[in-house]
Amino acid sequence: MMLDDTIVAFLHRPLMCILAGSDASGRPAAGRGIGVMVSDDRETLGIILSAWHYSALANAVAQTGKLAATFVSPCDYVTYQFKGRTHLREAGPADLARAETFIADATASLSALGVPRGIIPQWMTTRDARVAMLAVAECYVQTPGPHAGMRADAANGAPTL
Amino acid sequence: MTLRLADLSACFDGVIPSIIATAAADGTPNVSYLSHVVRVDDDHVALSNQFFAKTAANIRANPLVTLILVDCFTGEEYLLDVRFVRSLDSGPLFEGIARHLAASSAQIGMANVMKLKSADIFRVEAIGMIPSPLVPTRSETGKPIIGLTALAAAVRSIERQEDMGAVIEQLLQNVRHLLDCRHAQILAPDTTGGSLITIGSLGYDNSGIGSEVASNEGLIGLAVSSGKIAKVSDMSRFRRFGDAIKATDGGDEDRSRNITRPSFDGARSQIAIPLLTNNEVVAVLLTESERPAAFGADEEAALEMLAASAARAMRGAESLAASARQEPAPDHAVATPCATDSDVIRVVHHRFDDSVFVDDAYVVKGIAGAILRQMLEWYRDQRRIDFSNRELRLALAARMPDFKDNLETRLLLLRRRLDEKETSLRLAKTGRGQLRLLVPDLASVEMRHD
């Protein structure tokens, strides 16, 4: 699906990212993302994760190609979840640069909310980074409130292509 | 090293949100944040069933679930493989989780909106530590260690007190020194209505003595209704809502008769501990800290012990004052250093709430107001300034059928309000169960009843 302007703008804000995959036995795996890029056609997200940090997640995604990614803006809790098929590729210098910016923005946002700055690096590292190329099939609003759980295209009032 | 749930105590305070990953029957994953994970025993955790519909549906279709829990002091993450067992909608465990959730929700005025309908129980199949990119260092939220010797000394120091005011002060000072908490307040139920009144406080810009809170409101209300501890480990997530609520509070107490509640803007953690005697809540201790997750299991246990000793000492102080023999009043009145601008002290008493104003300044209402009114009438009619608890209790019981045996608490409130408002009238204890109304130069009192 093509992401609308609201969501593309959202993905350029300071965000935190959590991820889930599932392995062949149906056991879900969890982890965090450290960056996101939107493809020119707005149908694919490049989501950066550390295969060293969240190895079970990276293995599950490599095994089944299934991924869910939830992004939240810490300052106002605006949240979207994306789902679809994915494949992993090695991260290049541009991806790592993007990840560093993502981590710096998230750190600033969280520490402004009172999260001790010293513990935030526990959750985000670029070590052994991979990029999950997620072909977005579904997008849902997870912001607490009346639209929570709705498909984003319906909640945002934009036509889906 | 095999990790146990008991090793993860710093993950259950809800300061850093947990993560829940589920998968549908076809393997499609789903991921969201989770605010409440509760440790049930060594092998089970409970989650408040307030998930998005998709998470709930996935758990029913596929009981395998993965959680990430975060240590709020170090940021270290733990991966838990869990399996759904069953749902609960009643019983002690459910009620405990509901109370925990209500404590958080109450801070944003959403206690009813976020009422817990059920809780899901999961068996923990594996716990692993997620590799840390850092050498873990404790954040600045580290708490002081409470020593048993110091705790025992604190308990003894409270139980030694025989006077209600001294019990309250000693409890507050021990909270200050033992737990390094600079903000605390003690509230007592008002027997005439559904509220609690601040009778002691520590560390606030305004003491708030005499201010009220509805007995069904927030953490304090939860502690009263359940008779159990209620706490919030990270209020910062609710700060914006709290600010909005506070903006409607306060005002001119001489006009509204509502005293502004003591409040600490920097509070990250709050805990309300009921002071119980014979299963009756005689007071609530509210303690606040600028540290997130400041009140863990050790702090809870210490506060519970301090509160229990204070409850016993309060009851003892009440009994001692009640049983004191009435001594003959001195045959002369004693002039006091209080100054007054005129020979007449003007008092207005409002019958509908027993509020009393002295020289246009609001002093107090409720039972404490009725006590002041009674003493002022005796002074006006009989020129007496010395009174006993016993005669006050008899006089008030005749007037107020629901008056209970907690006169000392009301006298403490009245004494502190008169001091704080710097009125021309003061109240002093002259012995066990004895007190004196201090009237400057034995001025006349002009009373008006509205």
What is the CATH classification number for the domain harbouring B260? 3.30.450.40
Mutation to test the B interface, candidates A107, A113, A123, A139, most B Cβ within 10 Å: A123
In a domain, B423, yes or no: yes
| pLDDT tens, position by position, B416-448 | 999 998 888 999 999 888 899 999 888 888 888
What's the average model confidence in pLDDT over A128-150? 90
Residues B12 and B72 in one domain: yes
Domain CATH for B357: 1.10.10
As a whole number of angstroms, the distance between CA B351 and CA B356 comes to: 9
Q: Is residue B306 part of a domain?
A: yes
When scoring A78, A119, A134, A136 by the number of chain B Cβ atoms within 10 A, the one with the most, hence best to mutate, is: A119
Select the residue of B28, B68, B136 nearest A66 (Cβ to Cβ): B28
Task: Specify the DSSP element, H or E, that contains B239.
Answer: helix B239-246
Contact A82, A69 (CB under 8 A): yes
pLDDT tens digit sequence for B174-230? 999 999 899 999 999 886 658 899 999 999 999 999 998 888 788 888 888 888 898
Chain B residues with at least one Cβ partner in A under 8 Å: 16, 19-23, 27-33, 52-54, 62, 64-68, 70, 73-77, 79, 81, 130-134, 136-137, 139-141, 236, 268, 292
How many A/B residue pairs have CB atoms within 8 Å?
A: 120
Same domain, residue pair B111 and B165: no
CATH number belonging to domain A5-153? 2.30.110.10
| Both tokens assigned to B73 | 């002091």
B134 inside domain: no
Are B104 and B205 in a shared domain? no
Last residue of one domain, picked from the residues B75, B99, B129: B129
Rounded CA separation A96/B407 (Å):
70
Considering only CB atoms, which chain A residues are within 8 Å of B54? 140, 149
Assign residue B15 the CATH number of its domain: 2.30.110.10
* Interface predicted TM-score (ipTM): 0.94
Mean pLDDT for all residues in chain B: 84
pLDDT at B240: 37
Residues B18 and B123 in one domain: yes
Structure token digits, residue B203: 């560390």
Statement: residue A98 has pLDDT above 90:
yes
Contact B133 A121 (CB under 8 A): yes
Instruction: Mark whether B161 and B239 lie in a shared domain.
Output: yes
Please tell me which residue of chain B has the smallest CA distance to A25.
B27
- Domain extent, residue B443, equals 344-449
DSSP states of B361-392: EEEE-HHHHHHHHHHHHHHHHH---EEEHHHH
Residue B1's pLDDT is 63
Contact (Cβ atoms closer than 8 angstroms) between residue B221 and residue B109:
no
Same domain assignment for residues B368 and B284: no
Confidence at residue B219, expressed as pLDDT on a 0 to 100 scale: 85
CA B371 to the chain's CA centroid: 25
Among candidates B293, B249, B376, which has minimal Cα distance to B15?
Answer: B293
The mean pLDDT value for A143-147 works out to: 78
Q: Which chain B residues are within 8 Å of A124, Cβ to Cβ? A: 133
Q: Hey, of B15, B26, B31, which one would you mutate to test binding to chain A, going by the most A CBs within 10 A of its CB? A: B31
Of A20, A26, A70, which is closest to B62 when you measure between CB atoms?
A: A26
Do residues B16 and B111 both lie within one domain? yes
CA distance B260 to chain A (A): 27
Domain count for chain B, please give it.
3
Residue B143 is assigned to a structural domain of this protein? no
Whether B355 and B319 map to the same domain: the answer is no
Output the CA angle A39-A41-A43, nearest 5 degrees. 75
With an 8 Å Cβ cutoff, is A26 touching chain B? Answer: yes
User: Which chain B residues contact residue A69 at CB under 8 A?
Assistant: 31
What DSSP designation does A75 have?
T
Q: What is the pLDDT of residue B192?
A: 62
> How large is the average pLDDT for residues B4-20?
87
Q: Is residue B331 part of a domain?
A: no
B313 and B210 in a single domain? The answer is yes
β-sheet bridge partners, residue B20 = B32, B67
Residue in the structure block whose two tokens are 């260092």: B137
Q: Is the pLDDT of residue B166 over 90?
A: yes
Q: Is the pLDDT of residue A28 over 70?
A: yes
